[in-house]
Amino acid sequence: MACLFEGSLVFGVGILAILTYRFFIIPMPPPAEEIMKRRILLLMWWIMGRVTKLRMWLGRGHEVVLLRLEPPPKQHTGDTVITENTVLGGIPVRIFRPVGTNTSDEKLPGVIYFHGGGWCWEVWEGYDSVLRILVRLRKMVIVSVRYRLAPENPFPAAPDDCFAVTRYVLENRESLGIDQNNVTLMGDSAGGNLAMAMMTKLLSPSVVRENLPKIRNLVLIYPALQAVNFRTPSYQKYRGSNVPTILSSELMMKFYVAYALGMEIVNIDELLENSHWTKEVEEKAIWLENDNLPAQIREGANNSSKPRLENPTLAKKLNKYLLDPLFSPLLADDSVLKRFPETYILSAEMDPLRDDSFLLVNRLDRLGINVRHRHWKGMDHAFVGIPDLYSNSQKALVEIVEYLKEHS
State the Cα–Cα distance between residues 257 and 28, nearest whole angstrom. Answer: 29
User: Is pLDDT above 70 for 8?
Assistant: no
Q: Are strands 81-88 and 178-188 parallel, antiparallel or unpaired?
A: unpaired
pLDDT in tens, 95-140: 999 998 877 678 999 999 999 999 999 899 999 999 999 999 999 9
| 342-350/371-380 β-pairing | parallel
Determine the Cα–Cα distance for residues 226 and 92; give it in Å rounded to an integer: 27
Q: Using the predicted structure, report yes or no on whether residue 358 has a pLDDT greater than 70.
A: yes
Strand partners, 113: 144, 186
CA dihedral 330, 336, 337, 341 (to 10 degrees): -130
> What pLDDT is attached to residue 276?
94
- Which residue would you say has higher pLDDT here, 2 or 89? 89
**pLDDT higher than 90, residue 223:** yes
Instruction: Give the Cα separation of 90 and 87 in Å (integer).
Output: 6
Which pLDDT score, from 0 to 100, does residue 7 have? 56
In DSSP notation, 231-254 reads -SHHHHHT-SS--SSS--HHHHHH
* Residues facing 275 on adjacent strands: none
Query: Closest by alpha carbon to 197, among 232, 156, 235?
Result: 156
Residues of the chain with CATH 3.40.50.1820: 71-408
Is residue 37 over pLDDT 80? yes
Q: Which of 67-81, 159-173, 231-245, 253-267 has the lowest average pLDDT?
A: 67-81
The CA distances from residue 239 to 95, 352, 353, in Å, are: 38, 8, 12
**Helix ranges restricted to H, 117-248:** 128-137, 157-171, 173-176, 190-202, 205-208, 233-237
3-state secondary structure of 174: helix
What is the rounded distance in angstroms from the CA atom of residue 104 to the CA atom of residue 237? Answer: 52
Q: Is the dihedral of CA 259, 377, 286, 289 positive or negative?
A: negative
Instruction: Kindly report the number of other CB atoms within 10 A of residue 279's CB atom.
Output: 7
Give the pTM: 0.93
In Å, the largest CA–CA distance within the chain is 80
CA distance 239 to 44: 19
183 SS3 class? strand
Cα distance between residue 82 and residue 132, in whole Å: 9
CA-based angle 179:184:188, to the nearest 5? 150
| Residues 244-259, mean pLDDT to the nearest whole number | 96
Which pLDDT score is estimated for 13?
Answer: 63
For residue 199, what are the contacts with CB-CB under 8 A and spacing of at least 6?
Answer: 185, 215, 218, 329, 340, 341
H or E element that contains 97: strand 91-98
How many whole angstroms separate alpha carbon 315 and alpha carbon 333?
22
Containing H/E element for 280? helix 279-284
DSSP assignment letter at 68? -
Residue 3 pLDDT grade (very low, low, confident, very high; cuts 50, 70, 90): low
Phi then psi for 379, rounded to 5 degrees? -120, 165
Phi, psi values for residue 37, rounded to 5°: -60, -40
What's the CATH code, domain 71-408?
A: 3.40.50.1820
